[in-house]
Amino acid sequence: MGAAPSIRSIIHVDMDAFYASVEQRDRPELRGRPVIVGADPRGRGVVSAASYEARTFGVHSAMPIGKAARLCPQAVFLPVDMDKYARVSGEIMAVLSEYSPLLEPISVDEAFLDVTGTERLLGPPLEVAKAIKARLCQEVHLTASAGVAPNKFLAKLASDLRKPDGLVEVEPGDEAAFLRDLPVERLWGVGRVTARDLRAMGIETIGQLARVPVGVLVKRFGKWGTLLHELAHGRDDRPVEAFAQPKSMGAEETFAEDTRDGEELRRTLLAQAERVARELRAEGYAGRTVTLKLRFADFHTITRSLTGEATQDGLEIFRRAFGLFERVERVQPVRLIGLSVSSLVRGEPGQLSLFSAAPARRDRVARAADRVARRFGDRALFPASLLEHSKPR
């Protein structure tokens, strides 16, 4: 974020209900039917993706799979097939790369493109977005939604407004009008708790938030208040970073209710460590620095870091993060907990475990678990401690 941002032409492309749409594309008998991709509906996992037919019943990503089954028992439940989705993602990114060398994938099914200065070659940015959507429909046989805007924040927000198969443009100078009537939840990082706090201040819309002096927001939310002020004015000067090596990989969770439950915090941290480790292994990285993030009930946020040998082992990542956690004095309830791994290096199987048999064995077990997860879903296997503590008490 910064003052006087440069004017760019950014397109955000986001595939519609990607996993579920791929399954409906490949299995014509599923078209028009509610499809839910994720864990076994008899288990304790979550929804990875839901078709728009399933969403009409209230099903959405990250919902407990059991709840999804109760809301939409007639749905077709399918396991996650990451190998297939990765192949399709490659086809999508190949199409996008033809329109700009400044292509930044941010997940398997969405990416930013910077098409600044390409009008003489490709036409206006809106026409480029239309062409991309048409190509994806014709060649990959999937629909995408796209947002066109002067920066990444607005482009991503625009792509989400008219799903599925949507196309929204925010022209330079129209930022305030575009944001004015949108609810504050549309801002990055504003969840239910922050929205509740803003509404307690009489702030319902982004336009209302934009009229609040930045000093008032900083006093209430700390440094986060400055970011809220910038976003409310549609300002975001981050560049599109083409195929840059990730600086870190992480996970975090904001609790529905602030908590002091140490066991809940430990379990959450363990699950995050396993998830981050799986992502590191999938991308071929290991990291030297583990960072713990805690946000308390008053929005005060702290981070604590520990640097050691490069690792992609979920148990080791958890041990480092939990060691940091135990040394934090927690006077207030915790609103958010997260961890990240940074100082990334390329890590191949076996290279990180040459001098110890235990890490090598864990590496083999982890990679076997990764293969199971790709076939049956992210929650097909998880640490036994999570299962034990998830039983009714």
The mean pLDDT value for 91-106 works out to: 94
pLDDT at residue 30, as a whole number: 97
Q: Which residues contact 361 (CB under 8 A, 6 or more apart)?
A: none
Count CB neighbours of 155 within 10 A.
30
d(CA 277, CA 7): 38
Q: What is the pLDDT of residues 309-324, one digit of tens each?
A: 999 999 999 999 999 9
What is the model's pTM? 0.67
Angle, CA of 167, 170 and 173, to the nearest 5° = 170
Please determine, for residue 263, whether its predicted confidence score (pLDDT) is greater than 50: yes
- Which position among 23, 104, 110, 230 bears the catalytic label? 110
Q: Are 109 and 128 in contact (CB under 8 A)?
A: no
pLDDT of residue 392: 37
> Residue 189 has what pLDDT?
80
Tell me the C-alpha distance between 306 and 79, whole Å: 36
User: Catalytic site residue 274?
Assistant: no
Residue 365 CB coordination number (10 Å):
13
Query: What are the CA-CA distances from residue 342 to residues 208, 249, 288, 326 (Å)?
Result: 37, 7, 6, 21
Q: Which residue has the higher pLDDT, 108 or 24?
A: 24
Query: HEC string of the chain?
Result: CCCCCCCCCEEEEEECCHHHHHHHHHCHHHCCCCEEEECCCCCCCEEEEECHHHHCCCCCCCCEHHHHHHHCCCCEEECCCHHHHHHHHHHHHHHHHCCCCCEEEEECCEEEEECCCCHHHHCCHHHHHHHHHHHHHHHHCCCEEEEEECCHHHHHHHHCCCCCCCEEECCCCCHHHHHCCCEHHHCCCCCHHHHHHHHHCCCCEHHHHHCCCHHHHHHHHCHHHHHHHHHHCCCCCCCCCCCCCCCEEEEEEEEEEEECCHHHHHHHHHHHHHHHHHHHHHHCEEEEEEEEEEEECCCCEEEEEEEEEEECCHHHHHHHHHHHHHCCCCCCCEEEEEEEEEEEEECCCCCCCCCCHHHHHHHHHHHHHHHHHHHHCCCCCCCHHHHHHHCCC
Q: Would you say the C-alpha torsion 371, 374, 376, 381 has a positive or negative sign?
A: positive
Q: What is the pLDDT of residues 234-254, one digit of tens each?
A: 999 999 988 666 788 999 887
Q: Is the pLDDT confidence value at 222 over 70?
A: yes
Q: How much is the average pLDDT of 130-157? A: 97
Which residue ranges form the domains of the chain, and what is each CATH number?
A: 176-232 (1.10.150.20), 248-390 (3.30.1490.100)
Q: Residue 361 has what pLDDT? A: 52
pLDDT band at 373 (very low <50, low <70, confident <90, very high): low
Calculate mean pLDDT across residues 164-181.
Answer: 96
